[in-house]
Chain A
Amino acid sequence: MRLFRRLLPHPILTLLLTLTWVLLTSTWTLNSLVFGFLLGLLIPFLTQPYWPQQMRLKNPLMIIEYILIVLYDIVVANLVVARIVVFKPNAKRQPAWVAVPLDLLTPEAITVLAGTITMTPGTVSADVSAEGHALLVHCLDAPDPNAVRDEIKQRYERRLKEIFE
């Protein structure tokens, strides 16, 4: 079991890398599958020092729900932000920094949350606090910064907590 952990530090990453390679080559042959699997063995093994602890997924099925919600939010937020950029004068726009206290503990979950915040237009995650207990988020136009903080916590962080922890 320990040998298995040494050779395969991140089984999920191995699976993802194999799938990525097969999709990249776009040919469903044994050749690409085997080479993808070799990459999937080699890359997690070589990058193990930078990612020491094992990732756990408690609720993998909820990832699908999460992706759908984020995609929907991206479309809606794009329209909102496009309207702000084109029609709202700079003087009336209220950019704001928001500190989001985190309930998430694992680095993987915090990374996904920060990435989600950046990809949904209107908010960019700019920094994490020294010990990783808060995220610094910049809002393009936030008359009420507390509402932004609550939405991030309610909509994304709650679901990520169910997926990862």
Chain B
Amino acid sequence: MFFEYLIAGFLVMAGLFGFVGSFGLLKLNDPMSRLHAPTKATTLGVGGVLLASMLHGVVVEGHLSLHELMITLFLFLTAPVTALFIAKVHIHRHETKTSLPKAGEDGIWATHNVTETKEAPAEDQQQG
């Protein structure tokens, strides 16, 4: 009985954090802040479901399932990459070299450190 309450508690907690993550997507008002909401849903939201699933496997079904650990591992590997891609798109489209803080000793962030492909051919034509 105690474990059933515990499993239910984990599921409710996961649902709450999933809801807060989705609510954040609606409520927050700038693109970079909105990016914070999904990272929450994948940590405690999914984490709660996985904990409940593991506990259910051990207590109710009587065998230890380690698939949940693998899901956690894969999420922790992939979520930062997705977030980084979205952040890079935002930097490309909405941030300039002066709107971001100084990039330390290198002076420029990697996303801005590209040769402008639109201007390069024009220069060649002028020279030719």
Once A and B bind, how many residue pairs between them come within 8 Å at the CB atom? 135
Q: Indicate whether B53 reaches chain A with its CB closer than 8 angstroms.
A: no
What's the Cα separation between A115 and B77 when bound, in Å? 8
A31 within 8 A of B: no
Closest to B43 in A: A74
Q: What's the Cα separation between A138 and B84 when bound, in Å?
A: 11
Chain B residues with CB under 8 Å of A85's CB are 20, 23-24, 27-28, 37, 40
Q: Once bound together, how far apart are the Cα atoms of A140 and B24, in whole Å?
A: 11
| Residue of B43, B76, B108 with most partner-chain A CB within 10 A | B43
User: In the complex, are the beta carbons of B67 and A26 less than 8 A apart?
Assistant: yes
Asked if A82 and B110 sit within 8 Å, CB to CB, the answer is no
Contact A121 to B107, CB < 8 A, known contacts A75-B44, A78-B17, A82-B20: no
Contact of B109 among A20, A75, A136 (CB under 8 A): A136
Residues of B within 8 A of A114 (CB): 80, 84
Whose C-beta in chain A lies nearest to the C-beta of B76? A119
Considering the complex, give the chain B residue whose CB is closest to the CB of A123. Answer: B36
Q: Is B60 an interface residue (CB 8 A)?
A: no
**Residues of the A chain whose Cβ atoms lie less than 8 Å from the Cβ of B128:** none
Interface residues of A (CB under 8 A from B): 20, 23-24, 26, 74-75, 78, 81-82, 85-86, 90, 93, 95, 97-99, 101-102, 114-115, 118-119, 121-122, 124-134, 136, 138, 140
